[in-house]
Amino acid sequence: MKTNRPQMILVAILVCLFAVGMAGLLNFFKYRSIAERIVQERLVATGQAIENNIQSSLALGMSFSDIGTLPGALERERATDSLILSIDVLDDEGNLLYSTDRLRLARPVPASWLEAARRSNGSDWFVRDGTDSAATNLLKNSFGLTIGHVVVRYSDDQLKATSNAVAGTLALQALLVFLAAATLASFALLGVVNRLSRDVDTVAAALGSADPLASSVRKGPFGTALRRYVESVRNAETEIAILRGKLAQGEKR
């Protein structure tokens, strides 16, 4: 048993590594899922505020492409969240009408946005495309027809950087927990193995002595089993002696 101690300790360490590693991975994936959902809800809420502003202006009879107060409203909403890179408003054909980033007004709309809008089938859509990642709110008129999209652009790279930072923190914490758990498990296993080795050595010594059922052995964890073993051996020896006696008497006759 003493020769198997390194293997047993190695198994205990591997078990701790697997348990702590799986717990760390599950915590990371849970965090990432919750973080992405919260970010989407934040962006959708911002888009909803812009949508309400546009709907109010349209209700007053303003043209969708000529809402003078909209650029200021877009700037105010963008300033409320550092994650937002820009807020863009597209018409139903995918043309950019308003944007908090004036340089984007002279640039074509990202192809990933147009493709997502085309496949949305009249529902809100999301795009994950690096710095062109976006969450949208559909704009509909009083007849329920889509007239445009409010696109809140954010950087998916920033979210990945945050996730990587959290992953590093979780990895460090998992490493510390693993080291502590592996150390405690190793010492606990050594204590159990040492005690078991002593009990086994005591039983082995008792079997080789004249009195295998000494009081020190009977009080040990193997006392009951050893007593049954010794009684079985003695009964077998008695029966063998009886059979030998009968055989000897038969030969004399």
Angle in degrees, CA 229, 234, 235, rounded to 5: 100
Domain ranges of the chain: 2-163, 173-252
With tokens 């696109």, the residue in question is: 151
| Candidate from 74-88, 115-129, 163-177, 189-203 with smallest mean pLDDT | 189-203
| Candidate from 25-29, 132-136, 188-192, 219-223 with smallest mean pLDDT | 219-223
Local confidence band at 7 (pLDDT 50, 70, 90 cut-offs): confident
- Summarised one tens digit per residue, pLDDT across range 66-113 is 888 888 999 999 988 888 999 999 988 888 889 998 888 888 888 888
DSSP string across 123-164: S--EE--GGGEEEEEEEE-TTS-EEEEEEEEE-HHHHHHHHH
Question: Is pLDDT above 60 for 217?
Answer: no
- Mean pLDDT (the chain, rounded): 82
Residue among 71, 49, 69 nearest 60 (CA): 69
Tell me what pLDDT residue 176 has. Answer: 94
Residue among 152, 150, 153 nearest 90 (CA): 150
Instruction: For residue 84, give the 3-state DSSP assignment.
Output: strand
Spatial distance between the Cα atoms of 116 and 196, rounded to a whole number of angstroms: 67
| Candidate from 26-40, 93-107, 223-237 with smallest mean pLDDT | 223-237
* Class of 2-163 in CATH: alpha beta
DSSP string across 213-248: T-HHHHTSTTHHHHHHHHHHHHHHHHHHHHHHHHHH
Spatial distance between the Cα atoms of 51 and 135, rounded to a whole number of angstroms: 13
Tell me what pLDDT residue 247 has. Answer: 75
Tell me what pLDDT residue 121 has. Answer: 79
